[in-house]
Structures are given as structure tokens and as C-alpha cells.
Amino acid sequence: MKNDTSDILAKVKAKNPAEPEFHQAVQEVLESLALVLERHPEYRAAKILERMIEPERVIMFRVPWRDDQGNLHVNRGFRIQMNSAIGPFKGGLRFHPSVNLGILKFLAFEQVFKNALTTLPMGGAKGGSDFDPKGKSDMEVMRFCQAFMSELFRHIGPNTDIPAGDIGVGAREIGYLFGMYKRLRNEFTGVMTGKGLTWGGSVIRPEATGYGAVYFADEMLKTRNENLKGKTCLVSGSGNVAQYTIDKLIELGSRAVTLSDSAGYIYDEAGITSEKLAFVMDLKNVRRGRIAEYADKFKSAVYTPADPALDHNPLWDHKAQCAFPSATQNEINAQDASNLLKNGVYVVSEGANMPTTIEGVNQFLAAKILYGPGKAANAGGVATSGLEMAQNSMRISWTREEVDTRLYNIMKTIHEVCYRTAEKYGTPGNYVNGANIAGFLKVANAMMDQGLV
């Protein structure tokens, strides 16, 4: 069966050249699935894998817009509708200059498995643009979002495809995108998640991915009769996921000591407190400044600028027990993974999508640490989006406690399913196999039921 999956991977690479992130995401899943395919030849006969690797639909479009000086710009927009076997397409939009077809295909592919794990009826998708919101005025961001939605609106809908946020798409962008959709369609529906609280949003949605990654880490620790209290934690990024990861870590009595952005990182030996986090939220969400300012404000912190010539990220080279990568893909390479292990890290819960390279993942698995892959550990965001959709359909709003309890229970269930599945397939403690196999089985069985479509 190993030959079979190697053959599929070779074909994916040949058919989708210049998409290394997509190859990486497929490879990681295929390595886990060899175990399932041996027991279930019916999936091979129905070519389920080949069908899951091929998006149901890819939409690529021109986004022309005008800046404040009146100059014209042309960006590229995408929506990858990967798989709708268990529900309407669902997944975030990313606005970042690095965005390309391969990156969005990897994200959409991961999303299919992640959404299946949430226990909610959601298919997988992802989209975005190579537009860079950094340094743009609110009016420029609004004009871009309106131009982007003026094409995307014809491909989405509350029962078809429900986008959300991701890197570079937060509350401001969701507002502009939703406003334009509403105008074009002349309908007020739950077509997007991450909406404002007064117009259909859910409490806890902004917090959900970060909180969920921490709940997942705590569940992994429980298997060793431990918890997060008193643990030192390394957190990367300083956006939505990083902020609420730290918020929950503070509540649980852990000591988070790092934050980063693409320009560099801060190390705060004294620990990031609620007051310091409030400063970061204002800095990043309101003033849209750089993390370097943290070290100007708080003297216990040291700022280190990013150095592209380095073969590792120094953020991952500090003594700690836990790591929460919450910035972007492949931010932990083999050297970083080995530094983390050397410095005592034995819990890694991925808030970001695919933040660890395959070589790094293999080191974590070989060391038998508690390693929660993104498609399980960061599923809290999309799960709470699913809860937002449910509230929109019923035209009601749950309380903070209700949503947080549901989020907590979903993360507990995802952990349990991954843990049990890994055990059932003879690889106890391997959450990568657990997540890939459990997600695959749910989607594959739905596809088998629905025939050749």
C-alpha cells in the first residue's frame, strides 16, 4: 500500500508543479492513510484519494482597485472549493502577498479534514488574494474588499460556501466583504462568519482558534495527568490566534514569554500579563503597529529583528515546556524542532496551519512528545464558525458561556477521536495519524454514499 500512496504523491507533484506546500500537505496525509487503505481496499477501488486531492472547483479572478492617490492596482483573487461531501464549502480568506494557488490548495485540503473533525456539517474551502493590507488606509482596504466581493459573491452563499477570516482578514475586512455581498445580493444571510456582534456574529468567535489550541494542549497533557499551570510557553505571531492563545494561557496560570511578527520577535522573561496583552491588542488591532514597540514599552522584554540569513528561528530557541506556533506555514523547520526538543519543549499545539515542516514533524513524533497538528489543534475557529452558522439559521444568539462550553466540548471530542483513532490503528499517541485517519474516514464514507460526483 505504501507503493500505492507514493505513486499518488508522484502524480500529484507532476500534475501540480510549483505547489510545494500542497505537495507537503498531501504527503503528510498519505503517509497516515497507508494504514487505512490496507484495511479498506474499497476506498482505493472508488479512487477516493484521487478525488479528494482534486478540488471540486477552483475560481481565480482579477481584482482591480484604486488607491488613495488614484493609482490603479490589479491583484489576483482565488476561491478553492475543495470538498462538499459532508456540508457546504467552508474556510477562511487570506490576504497576504505570499498567497498563490498552491498555498490556498494546501489550506483548502487541510480544511477538509479539520472541518470533518469538528463533528459539524461543513465541507472544506479556502480563498484569498495576494493583496497586502499592511500599510493601506481603511478606505483602500474597503475598496479592495468591495472589488474582491464583486466577483466572489456569485460563487458563495449561506448554503453553498461560507468564507471567514484568516491571515490579513479580520473584523474590519469581514465587515467590508459582508457589506458588499449584502448590497449585491439584496439579502441579509449568514454568508460569512466572523461577523460583528450586532450583525449576526457569535461571541467567542474571535477567541476561538487560540482558546481551542490551548484546550487541545490541556487535553493532551491530561493523558499524562498534567496541566498547563506554571508551564512556560513560546507563542509565535501576534495576530488573532496568538493573542487569544496568550489570553487563555494567562487564565490557566501559564507563563507565555514570546510574540512575533514578520519583522522580528520579543522575549519577555517576566511573562506576558493581561495588561501587556491589552497593549498588544491595541498595537496590532487598532494602531496596526509592529511588535518591536512591545520592547520599547516593557523593559523586561528583548526584541530581536528577523534575520533571513539564519537557518533557524531564534524564537524557538528558549527554555520552555510548551510551544504554540501561531503565525504561518513552515515556521518550524528541522533545526527549530531540534532546538525545541533540546530546550525541554514536550507539548506543541499548532494554532497556525501546517507550521511545522515534515522533517520537524518526524522529529516530534520520534521523540514521542505531545504534538497536536494544526488540523486538530486549531479546529476551534472553524468549529465556532459552525456555531455562528447555527445561530444565524435559528436567528438566535447564545451567551458567552454557552458558546465557550460548546467550543470546549468540541475540542475535547476532537482530542478524544484523534487519540482513540491513533490507538486503533496501532500508533498510540500519534495525533497526526489520528487526525488524518478520523477526518478521512468521515469524508470518504460520505463520498462513497453519494456515488461518483
Given the complex with ligand NDP, which of 255 and 284 has the nearer CB atom?
284
Given the complex with ligand NDP, which of 83 and 326 has the nearer CB atom?
326
Cα gap 452→48, rounded to integer Å = 10
Given the complex with ligand NDP, which of 236 and 430 has the nearer CB atom?
236
Sole window of 3-11, 73-81, 164-172, 400-408 interacting with ligand NDP (rule: CB under 6 A): 164-172
- The neighbour count for residue 367, using CB atoms within 10 Å, is 14
User: With binding defined as CB under 6 A, does residue 351 bind ligand NDP?
Assistant: yes
Residue 368 beta carbon to ligand NDP: minimum distance, rounded to whole angstroms: 25
Going by C-alpha positions, the residue among 235, 246, 208 that lies closest to residue 410 is 208
Do residues 124 and 109 lie in contact, with contact meaning Cβ atoms separated by under 8 Å? yes
Window 368-387: residues binding ligand NDP (CB under 6 A): 378, 381
Residue 234 beta carbon to ligand NDP: minimum distance, rounded to whole angstroms: 14
DSSP string, 245-266: HHHHHHHTT-EE-EEEETTEEE
User: With binding defined as CB under 6 A, does residue 262 bind ligand NDP?
Assistant: yes
Catalytic status, residue 126: yes
Q: Contacting ligand NDP (CB under 6 A), which of 147, 177, 192, 352?
A: 352
Window 229-248: residues binding ligand NDP (CB under 6 A): 237-241
Distances (CA, A) of 327 to 73, 166, 284, 363, 405: 27, 11, 14, 20, 26
Cα gap 63→60, rounded to integer Å = 10
Torsional class of 196: left (φ above 0), alpha (ψ -120 to 50), beta (otherwise): beta
Q: Per-residue contact track with ligand NDP, 186 to 205, x per CB under 6 A?
A: --------------------
Q: Contacting ligand NDP (CB under 6 A), which of 91, 128, 165, 372?
A: 165
Helix residue ranges, H only, 223-369: 240-251, 274-281, 292-297, 334-342, 358-366
Window 317-336: residues binding ligand NDP (CB under 6 A): 326-328
Which listed residue (90, 126, 231, 276) is catalytic? 126
Residue 292 beta carbon to ligand NDP: minimum distance, rounded to whole angstroms: 11
Q: Per-residue contact track with ligand NDP, 394 to 423, x per CB under 6 A?
A: ------------------------------
Residue 127 DSSP SS3: strand
- The neighbour count for residue 155, using CB atoms within 10 Å, is 17
User: With binding defined as CB under 6 A, does residue 261 bind ligand NDP?
Assistant: yes
Distances (CA, A) of 125 to 212, 342, 382, 424: 20, 37, 11, 29
Cα gap 372→352, rounded to integer Å = 11
Sheet containing strand 258-261, strands side by side: 258-261, 264-268, 301-305
Given the complex with ligand NDP, which of 55 and 355 has the nearer CB atom?
355
**C-alpha atoms less than 13 angstroms from C-alpha of 319 in its C-beta half-sphere:** 1
Residue 386 beta carbon to ligand NDP: minimum distance, rounded to whole angstroms: 12
Sole window of 30-38, 58-66, 258-266, 429-437 interacting with ligand NDP (rule: CB under 6 A): 258-266
Catalytic residue numbers read: 126
Question: Which positions touch ligand NDP (CB under 6 A)?
Answer: 96, 98, 165-168, 170, 209, 237-241, 261-263, 326-328, 351-353, 378, 381
